[in-house]
Amino acid sequence: MRLLWVFFAACAVTFAAGVWDENQTKAHQSGEFLRFGFYKLDGAVKGNTLLVVGGVHGDEPGGYFAPALLATHYRIKKGSLWIVPNLNFESIIRNRRGVFGDMNRKFAALKESDTDYETVQKIKEIIDDPQVKMVLNLHDGHGFYRERWENTIFNPKAWGQTLVIDQKTLELDSVPFGNMDELATKITENLNKRLKDDLHYFSVRNTETRNKDEAMRLSLTYYAVTHLKPAFGQETSKNINALAVKVEYHLRLIEEMMKLMDIEYERDFELNFKGIQKALNSYGKVWINDKMAFNLIDLRNVLRFIPLDKNKEDRFIFNHPLGAVKRREDRVDIYIGNQRVSSLYPQYFDQNCSINLVQVDVDGRTRRLNMGMTFAFADYFKVIPREDLRINVIGFSAEGVKNESGIKIAKKDLETRFSEDVGGKMYRVEFYRNEDFCGTMNARIK
């Protein structure tokens, strides 16, 4: 798994690669408007390439959390899986269909002045890549599709629980997988054998775009089809409440498609409600300025006195594809998709101090640790004094002491209300050199 590139708004700062953990996928998002990430999962054995695009609509979380799991929890052994989990990232964070209008109606002609122009151009280029043999565009649609009108939820106009095709076939002689109707029928038949609820059954919906559906002629899938790439709109239902259920259907459809395309994969969680829920809850970490890291699981929803950059040029790196920050007037909000995980209220510092390998006595054993790391202690910890550094442990205070290095700090010395996490186990150890902020470590009670 690797992040090939993340493309940024012009005002964003550069991408920092491989600073913390070579093995983790990193997404670095900053700047005024967020741009999508592109993940290429290539198998050791060559084969077909499937492109999965999520999040064209920002208020359809099944459509972007499913590909986020693909990017981080799947491994491809044969063929390739290319993933754009968060096409309309700005709208995802704001939980709106399209902040700058409906992006899925911008694939025919589009003015260069349109804020979505660059995004649409980039994804078109990826679709056009000769390696791409199939395109899936993921949505959570309204209601449940039925051939006959039953009510406002179950009817022929509903998009929910469908595989949408623009036409039945695509130049069968020259285009592999051009038999779209047949493929969609096969996939939905297989999926319908293992539904959570009989009402959830999937249908193939052919919009017959060329002749009948003017609006769909402006869509991503129609762009793909007219460029001789078989494409499906994949819709779960907005009327299914549990995110994990929508994500399960999306992933099952994608896995069925991979089987048909002879793409071999592995996944590191069980494809059931519990397994998906657990994977969805693993928000990972955010690294800030290569100096500080927060575990996003169980993080308090408000954190105060966070040492950020005086010049407001902070760099945030997430290992979750949907991780992003929004700078507000008085704080920085941290998001995973449409979920606000925490708000950081800053205390501003110069950041011209860079240190590593500080010695910390952890339960009697001396360890050499870097900024951003977490260490666990059972009895106590003590930062070994260094002449140039001042240490401040958040949640600890001793009368008249300005520098807390060299002090044995036990669990009972820490005030729970200052912990980073809701559980009261994680505490921030801050390092300063004169007026400059150097970084933090996290001390975790075992």
- Shorter beta-carbon distance to Zn ion: residue 57 or 300: 57
Handedness of CA 368, 434, 424, 309 (dihedral sign): negative
Cβ of residue 72: shortest distance to Zn ion, in angstroms? 23
Contact window for Zn ion (CB under 5 A) among 64-72, 131-139, 270-278, 404-412: 131-139
Number of residues that bind Zn ion (CB under 5 A): 3
Q: Which amino acid is at 348?
A: Y
- Shorter beta-carbon distance to Zn ion: residue 64 or 74: 64
- Shorter beta-carbon distance to Zn ion: residue 60 or 256: 60
Cβ of residue 207: shortest distance to Zn ion, in angstroms? 13
What does the radius of gyration of the chain's CA atoms come to, in whole angstroms?
25
Cβ-closest residue to Zn ion? 139
Map residue 362 onto helix, strand or coil: strand
Beta-bridged to residue 317, according to DSSP, are 28, 287
What is the number of helices (H) and of strands (E) in the chain? 8, 27
Contact window for Zn ion (CB under 5 A) among 52-60, 178-186, 199-207, 250-258: 52-60
Q: Please state, in angstroms and rounded to a whole number, the distance separating the CA atoms of residues 5 and 123.
A: 13
Site for Zn ion in 53-112 (CB under 5 A): 57, 60
Q: Please state, in angstroms and rounded to a whole number, the distance separating the CA atoms of residues 17 and 23.
A: 11
CA distances from residue 414 to 70, 409, 417 in whole angstroms, order as listed: 40, 8, 9
Cβ of residue 62: shortest distance to Zn ion, in angstroms? 10
Cβ atoms < 10 Å from Cβ of 275: 16
Cβ of residue 140: shortest distance to Zn ion, in angstroms? 7
Site for Zn ion in 134-163 (CB under 5 A): 139
- Shorter beta-carbon distance to Zn ion: residue 61 or 79: 61
CA distances from residue 152 to 148, 155, 157, 233, 289 in whole angstroms, order as listed: 11, 6, 9, 21, 50
Q: Please state, in angstroms and rounded to a whole number, the distance separating the CA atoms of residues 441 and 430.
A: 7
From 134, 79, 71, select the one nearest 264 (Cα to Cα): 79
Contact window for Zn ion (CB under 5 A) among 49-57, 67-75, 272-280, 313-321: 49-57
Query: Among all chains, which residue has been given the structure tokens 């979380």?
Result: 61
Cβ of residue 104: shortest distance to Zn ion, in angstroms? 6
Question: H/E element holding 203?
Answer: strand 203-206
Angle (CA) 350 356 361, round 5°: 115
- Shorter beta-carbon distance to Zn ion: residue 139 or 146: 139
Contact window for Zn ion (CB under 5 A) among 132-140, 274-282, 419-427, 428-436: 132-140
Cβ of residue 239: shortest distance to Zn ion, in angstroms? 14
Site for Zn ion in 167-186 (CB under 5 A): none
Cβ of residue 84: shortest distance to Zn ion, in angstroms? 15
How do beta strands 332-336 and 323-327 pair?
A: antiparallel
- Shorter beta-carbon distance to Zn ion: residue 79 or 141: 141
How far the first Cα of the chain sits from its last, in Å, is 31
Cβ of residue 142: shortest distance to Zn ion, in angstroms? 9
Cβ of residue 246: shortest distance to Zn ion, in angstroms? 12
- Shorter beta-carbon distance to Zn ion: residue 253 or 332: 253
Site for Zn ion in 16-45 (CB under 5 A): none
Cβ of residue 215: shortest distance to Zn ion, in angstroms? 12
- Shorter beta-carbon distance to Zn ion: residue 157 or 408: 157
Contact window for Zn ion (CB under 5 A) among 14-22, 50-58, 150-158, 429-437: 50-58
From 72, 76, 79, 98, select the one nearest 87 (Cα to Cα): 98
- Shorter beta-carbon distance to Zn ion: residue 41 or 68: 68
- Shorter beta-carbon distance to Zn ion: residue 60 or 420: 60
Q: Where are the beta strands (DSSP E) in 67-201?
A: 74-84, 132-141, 144-145, 154-155, 162-165
Footprint on this chain of Zn ion (rule: CB under 5 A):
57, 60, 139
